[in-house]
Every structure is written in C-alpha cells, then in structure tokens.
Amino acid sequence: YIMTNKKSKIIIASAAGHLYGLHTSERGYPVFSYEWRPLHEIDPSAKHTEKFIKLLEKVCKDADYYINACDYDIEGSVIGYLIILFHGSLEKALRAKFSSLTPSELRNAFNNLTTLDWEMIEAGLCRHELDWIWGINISRALMSSVKSVSGKKVVLSAGRVQTPTLKHVVEHEIERNLFIPIPSYLLSVNIVKNNEKYHPEYKGESINTFLEASELAKTIREAGYLKVVKYEEKKVYLHPPPAFNLGDLQEEAARIYGFSPYKTQSIAEKLYLDALISYPRTNSQKLPPTLNYRGILEKIKSIPNYSQLVNTLFQETKGVLKPVQGPKDDPAHPAIYPTGVKPVNLKPDEWKIYDLIVRRFMAAFASKAELVHRNVVFKPIRGTGKNIVFQLTGQKILFLGWLKYYPFSKPRETMIPSFKLGEEVPIYSVRVRRTYSKPPEKITRIKILRWMENVGIGTEATRARIIELLFKRGYLRSVGGKVEATNLGLGVIEVLIEHFPEITSVELTRYFEEEMERIRKGERKRSDVVRDAKKTLLSLINSFEEKKSIIGKLLSYRLGLISPEKKCLLCNREEYYNGLCKYHYQAVEILRQKYHVWREKEGVSWNEYLKQLRKLRSTGKWVREIIENYSPTMEP
C-alpha cells in the first residue's frame, strides 16, 4: 500500500509473522553457534514467507526512515527489528505503538512515533535464543540416544517451557491412574417445613467407621427433631468483574462454549485484525482512563443485540462511566475491549467470542448484583457424643446489576423458608450415606494453560501454541474433550525426571522467564542471560552423555522401535519388577497400603476390598487392571 501523510510518501508492506529464524550449520550437540536466517531457507513449511522478504527488500531501498508498526508486544518488536536490521537502517528506525486497529488510534500512533523499544527487542531476542538453544540441544540429545540404540531416526522434541508442561500433565495422569478411593460417611437427613421437604447438608465432625455412622443415625432418628441453633439472613453483593485479559477470556470461552485456548486466541486475533477489538494478547485487567468509554458504548449501541443494554447501562450509571479495574497489569496493552466498529459477517464461533468481550466490557461499568442469602444451622435435640451439625442455605437475586450484561455468571437461585432460633423441625428421614474420595479431575487444555500462568512459564502469546505442540508430537491426546498423556509422553518424562531432572523443572524455566522480564525492564543484559543458560545447559548435557544408552533404550521401547527383553504382563511396557511395569507395580504397592485404611473403616476382607474397588468408577485405571487381570495378594 502507498499513502501520503503531510506530503511524505509512505509505503506500507506486510510481514507474515516471523520472517527470520535462528539456524546453525553444525551437526550434533551441544551446539551454541547460530545466526538469523530467512525462515523459508530453514523451514520447508515457511516457503510462503519468501515473497514477503523479496517485497520488503525491494521497497526498503533508499527509504528516509523505517517504522515498525507490528503488534506492540515482544514478538512484534522482534519481527520489525529483524526486517529493519536486514533490509533497512536501525539508525533511521521508529516505532508506532497502538492497542487497536481503529483509524483514530492508528493516526494517533503515527503522529506520536517513538524510537525503537530496545528493551522489548532485547527481551524478545533473548527468548528466541533461549528457546532455540534449549530446544535444539535437548531434542538432538534425545534423538541421538534413540538412534544409538535402535539405529532409527525419529523426531522427538523437548523445550524450556514444553517439557515442564508435559511433566505436569504426566504427574496428573499418574495420580489419577494410581488412585484408590477411600470411604467416608455422612448423615443424610430430610426435614419438613410448611409441608415441604428440605435436605440440609451434613457439616459436622468426621465419622470414622460405617458402624459409628449407623449408631448416630439411629440416635437422631429416634429423637425425631432437629433444633435451629443459628439463623442468618443477609444481603450479599457480587462485584462486577474487570474487562478480560487473554487468560480470562480463554477460561470463560472454555467454560461456556468448550473452546480450546488456542481456538479462542485465534478467533480473538482475527477480531483484532478486523479492528473489532483491542489487542488480545494482554495480561492486563485494567482499562485506561484515556479510553473514550462513552464513544465506544455509543457505537456498540448501534448494534441491535446491544442497543437496549447500552441504554440501560447509561441510565443505571447516570452517565458516570467508571470501570472496575482488576489487579493484573500489562506494560504494553490494556485489557481487551471492543472498539465499537460494527461487526460484519462474523461466523457463529467468532460472534460468541465477540459477544463475550462486549458483554464483559459493559459489565465492568455496571452496579453490583444484590442477593439475599439465608443460612440455617441445625443440631440434634438429643446429645450424640459428637459434634453433629447440619446446614441449609438458600439465595435469591434481588437486583441483577452487572449480571444483566454478563449473564454467564448468574448464580443459581434456591429459596428456603425462614426459621426461628430454637425452632424444632421434624425429621422425615435419616440414613447413612457412604461417599468416596475423588481422584483429581481430568485435565483440560484450559487447566494446563492456567497452570502455566500460575507457575509463571510461557507468555500470553505462546502458551496455547505450546499445548498444541505437545499434541502434535504425540505426547498428549484428546479423549472426550479431556487431555491424557500417551505412552510416549509418559516415557519421555520418565526418562527426563530420572536422568535429566533439571530440564523438567518449573523453577529453572521460571528463573529464565524472570530474567527476560528484567531485560525488558532494562535491569539485565541479554548476553549475560544467554551465557548463563548455555553454562547450565552444557552441564546438563555432560550429565546426559553418561546415561545416553539407558535413556535411548527406554525411549526406543516406548516408540516401539525395539522390544524389551521382558514385557509387563498387563501392557507392552518394559518389565520393572516381578512381571510388571513400573506403573502396575506401583499399583500393587498402593493397593496393599490402602487396604489397612479400608479394613479399619469397613471391616472388609482382602477379597471383598478388591471386589468393592472393582465396582467403583473412580478406581484408577492401573489399579483396576491389576485387580481384574493380576489377582494380587495382600502380602508381597
């Protein structure tokens, strides 16, 4: 595109994401020498980038100055920097900073150009270098170990962020598959009030055995009444949520629509490129006071779905638009907001994400929601020798407030009657309810992403992509919308934890993330951080070499390239002990440990214990396989 501005001719040329990548001509590992090369020369899937480079090469000649107008984030800073480095002049380089692609914001950005954002560039270059040296060296080491044992060349990968993330999923998987549910006991009671039955929850002291629970139920049943020992009715306020950052948007889209983080991010990026929303890859939950809130809402009002809601918001706020500000901030971009540009021809899923963003934006200006909450506490009228307590709660929405605009968080209304302190309420029924401890919930893509956020690894831009890479490599698979580690994923982490534990460490990954943040703040030099990373990696590789054949053998087993001398009786994994793989052997050991708890609580024999576990759906997969196919004994 060619345009004029104040008599200057401006040529606008596009990148296509990254046009340059790190490359080395050296074979083997460790390798620490590398250079930036055109991506199409080193990555067959990036052939389409060649035409962009040729065009940039042509239009950049003899320009008076160069403006980096890529996304204002670390990646955008690096993309623009490398183009100017190879095709222009850094001495003539300027930066355009904007958070949305509306004409007014773009004009403002070009009227207020700054020098290049060197701290962002240095932090971005450091991230690329660290990811490259960790990824290529660890991956080559793993592939070399397999080839040395099997003679086969396979593609394996590991990385600074990828590997700790895989380890988290694997540990979760192991915990679920080795899970043995433990029984506990509650008293389930129904009471009668105004000819209606109500079911207060048991909130008392823990009951140790089924026999004890049965005796307590009998005592309460014979007493016939529960006494109200506490009655509380109060107003509760739900404060409006702040505008979305990317993580919050991904979480809500997963909860409401079942979208993967990667899908949500991709849709949000398209909405941004269509100038419908501000820059989505942000961590901020804050809206700046410089934003024209009323102007945006007036534009949104022209969209039929929102016209009545905007009118209501203006009436409720009396025109005073002050958004809720969340605690999280981002130095580069505000929270995600709609620009007010009218959407045209959005696909159904695109509309869903756009609608979430618009409604959450409106909710940030709205009033608190108001509920009335009733809480009743009951105790048996006759002493039991134990602290037996039941609780009944109910709530009703009095004023919707922000829930009018963002109804996806509307609480469930459950009204209960009022009670008087000291009132004796007749019991309809009492029984013992046996419950079982639950395994960790099955993991999902959004839970993995939230875990990455919480432990501080990866960035808003990279987390969803890294999760998808683990699927592409065959380390993870999707089963019914949930995530499971594959046998290969288990094997890779098993090898690395035992022989190369530092690579799986969240702490080491987070340390380098923090160092890159210090570079962005101007507190550290890129060269120092990269030097420290090389030193750490070299030490790990030297340790790896001593165990290379052991590692190669185990990975080759899991890849099916060679057969173990002895296989597990229940699966194809290599034998660990007594005819079982490591995981099935652990299942036997845990079965024996937990039997003592079951015997104390239920008074069951070993065979009855196994029979009960077999019936329970929450029994771990590997434990169930042992029970059904191995006939374990109580003693080793």
The closest alpha carbon to 367, from 333, 411, 318, 331, belongs to: 318
Q: Give the Cα separation of 155 and 140 in Å (integer).
A: 9
Domain 129-178+441-559 fold: Topoisomerase I; domain 2 (1.10.460)
- SS3 assignment for 154-215: CCCCCCCCHHHHHHHHHHHHHHHHCCCCCEEEEEEEEEEECCEEECCEECCCCECCHHHHHH
User: How sure is the predictor about 186, in pLDDT bands with cuts at 50, 70 and 90?
Assistant: very high
CB 86 within 8 A of CB 20: yes
Task: State pLDDT tens for residues 40-60.
Answer: 999 888 899 999 999 999 999
Predicted confidence at residue 636, as pLDDT, reads: 54
Q: Count CB atoms within 10 A of the CB of residue 368.
A: 15
Chain region(s) in the chain for CATH 3.40.50.140: 2-116
> Helices 348-363 and 293-301 meet at what angle, rounded to 10?
140
Pick the residue with more confidence: 568 or 503? Answer: 568
User: How sure is the predictor about 1, in pLDDT bands with cuts at 50, 70 and 90?
Assistant: confident
DSSP 568-636: -SSSSSBP-BTTB-HHHHHHHHHHHHHHHHHHHHH---HHHHHHHHHH-TTS-HHHHHHHHHT---S--
Instruction: Indicate if the pLDDT at residue 336 is higher than 90.
Output: yes
Q: What's the token pair of residue 376?
A: 């009743």
Predicted confidence at residue 101, as pLDDT, reads: 85
CB 194 within 8 A of CB 419: no
Q: Give the Cα separation of 436 and 596 in Å (integer).
A: 16
User: How sure is the predictor about 157, in pLDDT bands with cuts at 50, 70 and 90?
Assistant: confident
Amino acid identity at 358 = V
CB 185 within 8 A of CB 596: no
The closest alpha carbon to 190, from 378, 420, 374, belongs to: 378
Instruction: Indicate if the pLDDT at residue 5 is higher than 80.
Output: no
Task: State pLDDT tens for residues 576-621.
Answer: 998 999 999 999 999 999 999 999 999 999 999 999 999 999 999 9
Assign domain 246-363 to a CATH class: mainly alpha
Phi, psi (deg, nearest 5) at residue 287: -110, 125
User: How sure is the predictor about 83, in pLDDT bands with cuts at 50, 70 and 90?
Assistant: very high
**Mean pLDDT across the stretch 64-81?**
93
Q: Count CB atoms within 10 A of the CB of residue 56.
A: 20
Predicted confidence at residue 200, as pLDDT, reads: 96
Residues taking part in catalysis: 279
> Could you tell me which CATH number the domain at 2-116 has?
3.40.50.140
Instruction: Indicate if the pLDDT at residue 518 is higher than 70.
Output: yes
The closest alpha carbon to 555, from 500, 508, 507, belongs to: 500
Chain-centre distance for alpha carbon 596: 37
- SS3 assignment for 342-380: CCCCCCHHHHHHHHHHHHHHHHCCCCCEEEEEEEEEEEE
Instruction: Indicate if the pLDDT at residue 155 is higher than 90.
Output: no
**Mean pLDDT across the stretch 425-454?**
94
Chain region(s) in the chain for CATH 1.10.460.10: 129-178+441-559
**Mean pLDDT across the stretch 477-487?**
92
Give percent of the chain above pLDDT 70: 100
DSSP 62-78: T-S-EEE-S-SSHHHHH
Instruction: Indicate if the pLDDT at residue 635 is higher than 80.
Output: no
Instruction: Indicate if the pLDDT at residue 384 is higher than 80.
Output: no
Instruction: Indicate if the pLDDT at residue 632 is higher than 90.
Output: no
Does domain 183-238+369-436 fall under CATH 1.10.150.120? My reply is no
Burial 7-33 (b: 16+ CB within 10 A, else e): eeeeeeeebeeebbbbbeeeeebbebe
Q: What is the pTM of this model?
A: 0.83
Instruction: Indicate if the pLDDT at residue 250 is higher than 90.
Output: yes
Q: Give the Cα separation of 73 and 215 in Å (integer).
A: 66
Range among 92-106, 147-161, 609-623 with highest mean pLDDT value: 609-623
Chain region(s) in the chain for CATH 1.10.290.10: 246-363
| E strand or H helix at 83 | helix 74-87
Task: State pLDDT tens for residues 556-568.
Answer: 988 888 988 899 9
pLDDT mean across residues, the chain: 93
Matching residue, tokens 């959005």:
346
What is the largest distance, in Å, between two alpha-carbon atoms of the chain? 97
Pick the residue with more confidence: 385 or 601? Answer: 601
Instruction: Indicate if the pLDDT at residue 496 is higher than 80.
Output: yes
Alpha carbon separation from 221 to 185, 207, 262 (Å, rounded): 17, 17, 55
Predicted confidence at residue 581, as pLDDT, reads: 92
